[in-house]
Amino acid sequence: MSKLKKIPEFKSESEERDFWLSHDSTEYVDWSKAKLARFPNLKPSTKTISLRLPESLLDRIKIEANKRDMPYQSLIKAWLADEVNSAHRRQ
């Protein structure tokens, strides 16, 4: 393998991002020495949304969440994730 170029010093994350958008990392990094990294404690990014539900449905969801001793919003997320995963497997 040819000699690798030195990675420049960056003044900001934005400057570094722009650099890597226009340069091939294989000229700077020997990827054959890369190792798999796992970050099990990272939480996925979330986005707040507004969802309008009939009050009666929300009341029933809160009752189900209470039975499971969990916040109702967490239960909604779990149900949505399960349904999306099931739909994906069916396809």
pLDDT digits (tens, 9 = 90+) for 6-56: 999 999 999 999 999 999 999 999 999 999 999 888 888 889 999 999 999
Q: Please check the confidence at residue 1 and state whether its pLDDT lies above 60.
A: no
The residue whose two tokens read 């239960």 is 75
Residue 90: φ, ψ to 5°: -70, -25
pLDDT digits (tens, 9 = 90+) for 71-90: 999 999 999 999 999 998 88
What is residue 40's predicted lDDT score, i.e. its pLDDT? 87
Can you list the domains of the chain with their CATH numbers? 1-35 (no CATH), 47-91 (1.10.1220)
